[in-house]
Structure 1
Amino acid sequence: MQETPASEVESVAKARPRRRWRRLVVVSVIMLLLFGLPWWTLVAAGTHWPTAVVVLGTVIIVGAMVALPTMMVFGHGRRHRDWAAVTGDVLLGAAWVFFVWSLLGQVLRLALFAFGVDDPARSRIVALSVLAVATTLLVWGYAEAMRVPRVKHVDVRIDRLGRGLDGLRVVMITDTHYGPIDRSRWSTRTIDRVNELDADVLCHVGDIADGSAEVREPQSRPLEHARARLARVYVTGNHEYIGEAQGWVDYMADIGWDTLHNRHIVVERDGDRLVIAGVDDATARGSGQAGHGANHQAALADADPNLPVLLLAHQPKQIDQAVAAGVDLQISGHTHGGQIWPFNFLVRLDQPVVHGLSRHGERTQLYTSRGTGFWGPPFRVFAPSEITVLTLRST
């Protein structure tokens, strides 16, 4: 056995504290910006509020800044306290909205300056406007997040689709993210809405929950009663790999769904057939969970190459492999449409598409859903949730 030199061990040991300190510095800078700009805009920037208002505003903002990382550690760390996770998620969403609109408030400040409005009137107008807009968006965004999603209808023309499959209704849900907020009633109402849509094929494209199947089963239970004529199919998302992916694969199989764990099934109607394949999430291979990892070749092994292929893959950026595999239509979620504007612009840095139908290569199309639920902060701002009905059309 070859021993690791003492100098190398010492070097690694020294590197770890340095990385921790760098992370701490980065997080501290982000927190100061996230809370510092709203504090400056609402409390300090030439507003000349009474002392009591300044003190109260400062206490609230500093308290939120301290509480956010504390609640995140207790809620999403090893302890998994749902009450702490909810508190931290709400604070994160509120901080982001107030930061964005405090930043945009500086445009109003410049406009007022150009029109000759002096302080403290100018700064108070900006502060009150930011407070009113951000609060309104948070209330509205919460209502949007908690409502049963709207139904979005999309026609998709597929050249290789047989006439017998023309009009096939593929109902798509994704990113339900059952989590710290108990949404059992929401789940029941959402599946009731799905069942009204007369699906031929029903797809869940990953991120069922944040937590294990055992812990989140009361919220996911309505999935057992979801209906479709030909098939109910499911693939894993990245959040399954934060928790217990195999547990969710087993759970969905136990309640009667086809779990497309790098495999496919074939559905038939009026003499024409469609391959429905699924691959694991892009993060699966690096998760360390044995037997998991996206494998398009395995998913399409022994499939008739002349048949059209519908592929479930959680992340839009898995589209390149789909193009190489000759897939006709990939359906994905993951992006949430950004969930809280303008986060969609940051999502675009990581994903080729944020939302909607797009074409990639000569054959392959991609539909990216905004998602059916929400992750983390219980807000949706300018990114509504959806249940998607994809009607497949032959040419």
Structure 2
Amino acid sequence: MSVGEAVETEPRRRRPGRVIRFALTIGGVLLLLFGVPWWTLAGSGNAWPGPVRVIATVVFALALAAFPLLMFSGHGRHHRDGPAVIADTMLGVVWVLFVWSIIGQLFAAVLWAFGVDSPARSRIATVAVLTVSVVLLVWGYAEARRVPRVRRVEVPLPRLGAGLDGLRLVLLTDTHYGPIERSRWSRRVTEVVNTLDADVVAHTGDIADGLVEQRRSQAAPLADIQASMARVYVTGNHEYFSGAQGWVDHMTELGWEALHNRHVTVTRGGATLVIAGVDDRTAAGSGVPGHHADHEAALAGAGPGLPIVLLAHQPAQIAGAVAHHVDLQISGHTHGGQMWPFHYLVRLDQPVLQGLSRHSEHTQLYTSRGTGFWGPPFRIFAPSEITLLTLRSA
């Protein structure tokens, strides 16, 4: 492991003060998430009849109290699917209501500037917030559950030999097989991939939320994906909540090469390409023995001067790729933000949201918006994708 890479090998111990600060932070965030929509829809200047305000207040209060309990039960150690589905859906709904409630308050201010009296302006803003939120949630649910569109991108790699010019690499990532049963969706994704005549198919992690035993049927269609040269996989951060080594072993059973800090090569027409993979950047702190991002191990023994495609789950791992003269890193993790405007928060942690970007004279990065979705079953202004990368030589 080189300087600048993660060096943690044990999970951090939680200190009482840190736990209290975390609990207070989460509590404050939840009060905002639920409180702002309550104020916009039930309070503010709406002047609703007393019983309406009481009912709305009780509904929001019950939702606020139930949400953390459902989230803990659903996404805790036991991965209970029923509570997880309810909590995830609640999170998506309240996020949309929160965002559009803020916009609704600004709209009400504009109405006030134009002389619209209260309570009419507040009620107009409330109806607008509810209408937009419902439309976006219905549309976002359909976008999340659909089979992703194919996104086709050509990537020039100057070191790629002429024999491999036109190599077709299909990228899947962030399938997040989870509490909503999606075996049929998974089969349809496989059918689409198999129409693309792939030379290489790569999965860059976050395969599932849950253990192999819980998500086996959803992952099963991965065994039927076809590639003429290689099928390769690396772990994402969610594997480290869901039995990472079990998923590495299971992908091997399904016939995929688990690039657990290692590489394979593909050759055609006298040209060779190194396809390497590193563990997710959270692996070192997960406590899973032998898991950490190690670029040097992944590239050990690779022929000097050969072009390198690196699988790394998070775009934030690009510094290691640059340091090791990788030609192209392929990643996921961001989901393209998944639910607007969450992408602004994603950009605080990641250098890129989606698409092809350059990070040095020799290193490019392609970041997928993801094949599935995490948590809330909604995608709003962040469509999913199956990516076909066509590699071009100089």
Please indicate the TM-score interval, normalised by the length of the shorter structure.
over 0.9
User: What's the RMSD between the two structures over aligned residues?
Assistant: 1.1
CA distance in 2, matches of 1:205, 1:258: 12
Instruction: Give 1:179-218 correspondences, 5 Å limit.
Output: 179-218=178-217
Aligned counterpart, 1:224: 223
Task: Tell which deviates more after alignment, 70-79 or 135-144.
Answer: 70-79
Task: Tell which deviates more after alignment, 48-57 or 272-281.
Answer: 48-57
Instruction: Give 1:189-338 correspondences, 5 Å limit.
Output: 189-338=188-337
CA distance in 1, matches of 2:222, 2:266: 21
Instruction: Give 1:1-395 correspondences, 5 Å limit.
Output: 16-395=15-394
Q: Which runs of 5+ in 2 are unaligned?
A: 1-13
Q: CA deviation at 1:154?
A: 0.5
Instruction: Please state whether the residue corresponding to 2:42 is helix, strand or coil.
Output: helix
CA distance in 1, matches of 2:164, 2:208: 32
CA distance in 1, matches of 2:296, 2:18: 38
4+ residue segments displaced more than 6 Å = none
Q: CA deviation at 1:57?
A: 1.8
CA distance in 1, matches of 2:222, 2:259: 16
**What per-residue deviation string (whole Å, max 9, x for no partner) do you get for residues 29-85 of structure 1?**
111111111011011111112233222222222221112111011111234211001
Q: Are the counterparts in 1 of residues 208 and 242 from structure 2 also a CA contact under 8 Å?
A: no
Q: CA deviation at 1:21?
A: 3.2
Q: CA deviation at 1:270?
A: 1.5
Once the two structures are aligned, what percentage of the paired residues are identical? Answer: 64
Instruction: Please state whether the residue corresponding to 2:361 is helix, strand or coil.
Output: coil
CA distance in 2, matches of 1:77, 1:257: 29
CA distance in 2, matches of 1:205, 1:29: 34
Instruction: Please state whether the residue corresponding to 1:348 is helix, strand or coil.
Output: helix
CA distance in 2, matches of 1:271, 1:79: 51
CA distance in 2, matches of 1:280, 1:229: 25
Structure 1 residues 260 and 79, CA, compared in 2 at 3 Å: closer, same or farther? closer
Q: CA deviation at 1:236?
A: 0.5
Aligned counterpart, 1:9: none
Which protein shows a greater Rg?
1
CA distance in 2, matches of 1:313, 1:23: 29
**Structure ranking higher on relative contact order (CA contacts 8 Å, 6+ apart):** 2
Q: Give the counterpart letter for 1:141 in structure 2.
A: G
Q: Are the counterparts in 1 of residues 260 and 277 from structure 2 also a CA contact under 8 Å?
A: yes
Name the count of aligned residue pairs: 381
**What per-residue deviation string (whole Å, max 9, x for no partner) do you get for residues 193-228 of structure 1?**
111111010000001001111211010000000001
Q: Tell me the TM-score normalised to structure 2 length.
A: 0.95
CA distance in 2, matches of 1:334, 1:44: 38
CA distance in 1, matches of 2:92, 2:212: 26
Q: Give the counterpart letter for 2:114 in structure 1.
A: F
CA distance in 1, matches of 2:15, 2:354: 39
**What per-residue deviation string (whole Å, max 9, x for no partner) do you get for residues 105-125 of structure 1?**
122111111111011110001
Instruction: Please state whether the residue corresponding to 1:349 is helix, strand or coil.
Output: helix
Instruction: Please state whether the residue corresponding to 2:115 is helix, strand or coil.
Output: coil
Structure 1 residues 84 and 301, CA, compared in 2 at 3 Å: closer, same or farther? same
Q: Which runs of 5+ in 1 are unaligned?
A: 1-14
Q: Tell me the TM-score normalised to structure 1 length.
A: 0.94
Q: Give the counterpart letter for 1:235 in structure 2.
A: V
Instruction: Please state whether the residue corresponding to 2:45 is helix, strand or coil.
Output: coil
CA distance in 1, matches of 2:131, 2:125: 10
Instruction: Please state whether the residue corresponding to 1:341 is helix, strand or coil.
Output: coil
CA distance in 1, matches of 2:243, 2:78: 16
